[in-house]
Amino acid sequence: MAVPTKKEVMDFSPMNTGGAEELPKFRRNAFLELEHSLKTGLITAVTGLRRVGKTTLVKQALGKNAFYFSFDEKKYANSQALKQVVDAFISEAEKPVIFLDEIFRVEDWAGVLKKYHDQKTARFVVSGSSSLLIRKGVESLSGRLSTLYLPPLQFDEFLGLKGKKAERVSLGNAFKSASRYETELNEFLKIGSFPQIIGFSEKDAVAYIKSSTVEKIVFDDIPATFKVEHPSKLYDLMRLCAANSSNLFTEVNFAEATALSRHAVSDYLLYLEKAYLAGVIYPAGSFQKALKKQKKVFAKTACIYNALAENPSVGQAAETAVYDKLSAGKISFYRDAQQREVDFIYYNTPIEVKFQSTITSGDSNNLMHYLGKNRKNEGIMITKNLFDEKKIGGKTIKFIPLDAFLLLKI
């Protein structure tokens, strides 16, 4: 069990000795939310997919009297090392703000920080790449913890990093804006989720996503936290999720494809979800009944889909991007016994994705059926180019191009 010396702790970052780190001027949408959280006096936990910019975001929000240490190195991922780090920083300043990166690797991290927090000797910001590990600390930190999820780079943020100003707009205002970003959209679908790879070639972006995000999580992060007997099978399952992104699946089918048991597939899918690599959505209706039906699987982002799928299609990439946009909210899909399907039900709004050059009258049939059956008046169809609003059979269908939809406030 390794414990860093005080010198190692202080030398870990220039900010620990009063120096400045070079940080980008661009700030994520979550910056103001984080600033507010830091003023509450609670322990702030920032979580999200690897490489989405959690560390940069926190460092941008920290003011003076702040210190930083990361537990990404396995040798220091223990409670004694954590205590040494905190004590070193407390000895340097009165009531410092201490940023502890990848702290969720440390056993009993919540118990250790609870003591310091209750003594009011320091304020803490913690971060990591697994939502399950935050939940492990929620009980002992009841009333002391504020959580902030940092999503993958969103389309407006991607455009901002590309030097193009594009603000998020309400659905009503979307039809008043003539701005389109079709060229940027194609790039966003392939490399747009991670700030560090903006400007990479597609080949380099794929290599980066595989090695620095997917493989790091599958072969390092998840096995360090959960019992994974076959990490290579976990990786096979992740590739299968990507290949089938936006498609129906059952655990039985995935078990046969990966030579895993059905129970192992269920567990592994949960790990991938909580590490923000993949997602599963259920058919609308009773959850108990939904458990018995086919579900939909998604890679977390379009660029993860493109990096892992052998023959990626633009249609699947588009639907995956919509999933990422909606995934922070209440999301399901509709499918009836006649196999009429609506891609997403976002709270009470049905959304169909038809990312194609031509939209025919028949493309609205499933959406119209759902609206009629459920006595709803309005639905959304996400298109490639069509920007329109039509009354069909007394119902309103809003046709919105994908690039415009990704800029909506929802």
Q: Minimum mean pLDDT among 57-71, 131-145, 211-225, 243-257: which range?
A: 131-145
Residue of 333 and 21 predicted with greater confidence: 333
| Average of per-residue pLDDT across 195-209 | 94
* Confidence (pLDDT) at 140: 75
Return d(Cα 102, Cα 94) in angstroms, integer. Answer: 24
Residue 221 pLDDT grade (very low, low, confident, very high; cuts 50, 70, 90): confident
DSSP of 118-165, one letter per residue? HTTS-EEEEEES-HHHHHHHHTTTTTTEEEEE-PSPPHHHHHHHTT--
The answer to whether 128 and 145 are in contact (CB under 8 A) is no
| DSSP code per residue over 343-399 | EEEETTEEEEEE-SS---GGGGHHHHHHHHHTT--EEEEEESS--EEEEETTEEEEE
Q: What does the DSSP 8-state code read for residue 326?
A: H
* Mean pLDDT score of the chain: 92
Contacts of 178 (CB under 8 A, 6+ apart): none
Segments making up each domain of the chain, as ranges = 6-149, 155-405
Q: Each residue of 283-338: pLDDT tens digit?
A: 998 676 667 789 999 999 999 999 999 999 999 999 999 999 999 999 999 999 99
The model's confidence at residue 141, banded by pLDDT at 50, 70 and 90, is confident
Helix axes of 182-191 and 314-326: crossing angle, nearest 10 degrees: 80
Question: Which CATH entry fits the domain spanning 6-149: 3.40.720.10, 3.40.50.920, 3.40.50.300, 3.40.605.10?
Answer: 3.40.50.300
The pLDDT of residue 312 is 95
d(CA 55, CA 103): 12
pTM: 0.93
Q: How confident is the model at residue 174 (pLDDT cuts 50, 70, 90)?
A: confident
User: What average pLDDT score do residues 125-143 get?
Assistant: 75
**Distance between alpha carbon 327 and the CA centroid of its chain, in Å?**
8
Percent of the chain residues past pLDDT 70, beyond the cut:
96
pLDDT at 173 over 80: no
**Residue for token pair 């120096």:** 19
133 falls in which pLDDT band (50, 70, 90)?
A: low
Q: What is the pLDDT of residues 367-392, one digit of tens each?
A: 999 999 999 999 999 999 999 999 99
pLDDT value of residue 108:
86
Closest CA to 221 of 271, 148, 264: 271
Q: What is the pLDDT of residue 138?
A: 65
Instruction: Taking residues 201-230, report their average pLDDT.
Output: 92
SS3 (DSSP) at 26: coil
Q: What is the mean pLDDT of residues 252-270?
A: 96
Whether 131 shows a pLDDT value over 70: the answer reads no
Higher-pLDDT residue of 137, 231:
231
State yes or no: pLDDT of 364 exceeds 90.
yes
Highest mean pLDDT out of 26-30, 134-138, 237-241: 237-241
8 Å CB contact between 131 and 148:
no
pLDDT of residue 137: 64
Q: And the tokens for 35?
A: 């600033």
